[in-house]
Structure 1
Amino acid sequence: MSETPPDSSSWKPSEGSDDPPAWDQDEADGLVGLYVLVGITHLNVGGETVISQTQYHGRIVSADPKAGFKVECEGKWKGQLMGLPPDINVFTAARPGQYRLRSTEEIVENPDLLATWSVKGRVTS
């Protein structure tokens, strides 16, 4: 059974207000070209139960205040272009070392940045 890449274009962070985060284009442009390890935890509607976890890694190739960040993936998702919401504050500097991705068993060495998200499920009728 083949997996499909995670759909990262239709979600936004589950915590915080509905107001868009502050955007600094110079700061966002400074992230372009850096290598990021992304972790996404999908939670149920109540936010208490983990439904799934997705991890991917790659180079940030663009930053736009409306479209967000685009990541050109490597490893399992090589060739996929993933999107992240336009929130600069989610990125943190990664400590040097090896990072094992639980979802794919890949090892990523010395990424520049980490970005983690928790996404609550939607109520469907």
Structure 2
Amino acid sequence: MSDGPPDEEDLEAFVPSWDQNVADAAVGKTILAGVTYFESGGQTLRSQEQYHGIIVSVDPKVGVHVRCAGAHAGETICLPPHTRVFTRASPGNYTLRSTGEIVTDPDFFTTWSVTPPVKN
């Protein structure tokens, strides 16, 4: 561990990346998103959810809106505007552990961990 400030390469993982070409190409595509929710402090797992649906809009300031299908049909979720973590999915069937649904050939997948700030 270095005593100095982190270098630019270390900080790169924390800076949201936005590739407008990737974002524009994602609209209308299917996505599988896993979200893990932790309690404040990040030590205690609160819940895990898996969503799938169609990417309906993208905005570098607002995020990526997904119109959900399946168990979450009727919901729209907003994922952070960080296109680097939207990975092309390999063809095949994906079974959602949280619902048992089978999603076939999604275009993208992404995973997120959400930890609320510690209240003082």
**Above 0.5 in TM-score?**
yes
Which one of the candidate residues 88, 96, 101 is aligned to 2:91?
96
Question: Aligned residue for 2:58?
Answer: 63
The aligned amino acid for 2:108 is: L
Residues in 1 aligned to 2:104 and 2:17: alpha-carbon distance in whole angstroms: 30
Asked whether the equivalents of residues 41 and 118 of structure 2 are also in contact (C-alpha less than 8 Å), the reply is: no
The 5 A counterparts of 1:1-125 are 20-125=15-120
Per the alignment, in what secondary structure is the counterpart of residue 43 of structure 2? coil
Structure number with greater Rg is: 2
Per the alignment, in what secondary structure is the counterpart of residue 117 of structure 2? coil
TM-score (norm 1): 0.78
Residues in 1 aligned to 2:18 and 2:104: alpha-carbon distance in whole angstroms: 29
Give 1:76 shift.
0.9
The one-character-per-residue Cα deviations of 1:33-81 (angstroms, maximum 9, x if unpaired) are: 1100000011233333322101110010111111111101110111211
Question: Aligned residue for 2:6?
Answer: none
Residues in 2 aligned to 1:124 and 1:47: alpha-carbon distance in whole angstroms: 13
Q: Which moved more, 1:41-50 or 1:61-70?
A: 41-50
Indicate the RMSD between aligned Cα atoms, in angstroms. Answer: 2.0
Aligned length: 110
Structure 2: unaligned runs, 5 residues or longer: 1-10
Residues in 2 aligned to 1:61 and 1:27: alpha-carbon distance in whole angstroms: 14
- Report percent identity of matched pairs: 50
Asked whether the equivalents of residues 40 and 118 of structure 2 are also in contact (C-alpha less than 8 Å), the reply is: yes
TM-score (norm 2): 0.81
Structure 1: unaligned runs, 5 residues or longer: 1-15
Residues in 1 aligned to 2:45 and 2:91: alpha-carbon distance in whole angstroms: 28
Which one has a larger percent helix, Structure 1 or Structure 2?
Answer: 2
